[in-house]
Chains A and B, each alone.
Chain A
Amino acid sequence: MPNPVTAGSPEPAIALDIIKQFGGEIPFLKALSTTVDFLDRGRCGLSVPWGENLVGDASTGTVHGGVITTLLDSASGMAVFSVIPRLMQIATLDLRIDYLRPGAPHIDIKAEADCYRISKNVAFVRGRAFQDGDREIASSLATFMLDSSSL
Chain B
Amino acid sequence: MPDYLEQLRDAKARRAPQDMIRAIPYLDFLGVTVREEEGDLICVLPFQDKLVGNLTLPALHGGVIGSLLESVALLQLIWTLDNATLPRTINTSLDFLRTGQAKETYARGRITKQGRRVANVRAEAWQDGPSRPIAAAHGHFLLG
Which residues of A come within 8 Å of B, CB atoms? 25-31, 52-59, 63-67, 69-74, 77, 89, 91-99, 102
| Chain A residues near B67 (CB-CB < 8 A) | 64-67, 69-70
Q: Which residue of B lies closest to A27 (CB)?
A: B52
| Chain B residues near A28 (CB-CB < 8 A) | 50-53, 61, 63-64
Which residues of B come within 8 Å of A, CB atoms? 1-2, 4-5, 23-30, 49-57, 61-64, 66-68, 70-71, 86, 88-96, 99
Separation of A124 and B56 alpha carbons in the complex (Å): 23
| Chain A residues near B93 (CB-CB < 8 A) | 94-97
8 Å CB contact of A58 from B4, B30, B70, B88: B4
User: Do the beta carbons of A99 and B89 come within 8 Å of each other?
Assistant: yes
Report the minimum CB–CB distance from A65 to chain B (whole Å).
5
Q: Which residue of A lies closest to B67 (CB)?
A: A66
Q: 17 other contacts beyond A29-B61, A71-B63, with CB at 8 A cut-off?
A: A25-B55, A26-B52, A27-B53, A28-B63, A28-B64, A29-B53, A64-B24, A64-B27, A65-B92, A66-B63, A67-B63, A69-B62, A73-B63, A89-B54, A93-B96, A94-B94, A102-B88
User: Do the beta carbons of A98 and B90 come within 8 Å of each other?
Assistant: yes
Q: Which of B5, B50, B61 has the most CB of A within 10 A?
A: B61
| Chain B residues near A77 (CB-CB < 8 A) | 62
| Chain B residues near A55 (CB-CB < 8 A) | 24-26
User: Do the beta carbons of A70 and B61 come within 8 Å of each other?
Assistant: yes
Q: Which residue of B lies closest to A138 (CB)?
A: B91
Report the minimum CB–CB distance from B78 to chain A (whole Å).
11
Separation of A73 and B65 alpha carbons in the complex (Å): 11
| Chain B residues near A66 (CB-CB < 8 A) | 26, 30, 63-64, 66-68, 70-71
Report the minimum CB–CB distance from B105 to chain A (whole Å).
13
Q: Which residue of B lies closest to A74 (CB)?
A: B63
Q: Which residue of B lies closest to A66 (CB)?
A: B67
| Chain A residues near B95 (CB-CB < 8 A) | 93-94
Separation of A89 and B89 alpha carbons in the complex (Å): 31
User: Do the beta carbons of B50 and A54 come within 8 Å of each other?
Assistant: no
User: Do the beta carbons of B26 and A97 come within 8 Å of each other?
Assistant: no
8 Å CB contact of A56 from B24, B53, B91, B99: B24
| Chain B residues near A58 (CB-CB < 8 A) | 1, 4, 23-25
| Chain B residues near A92 (CB-CB < 8 A) | 62, 94, 96
**A58-B25, A64-B26 known; A31+B63 contact, CB < 8 A:** no
Separation of A99 and B139 alpha carbons in the complex (Å): 11
| Chain A residues near B27 (CB-CB < 8 A) | 64
| Chain B residues near A27 (CB-CB < 8 A) | 49-53, 55, 61
Report the minimum CB–CB distance from B80 to chain A (whole Å).
18
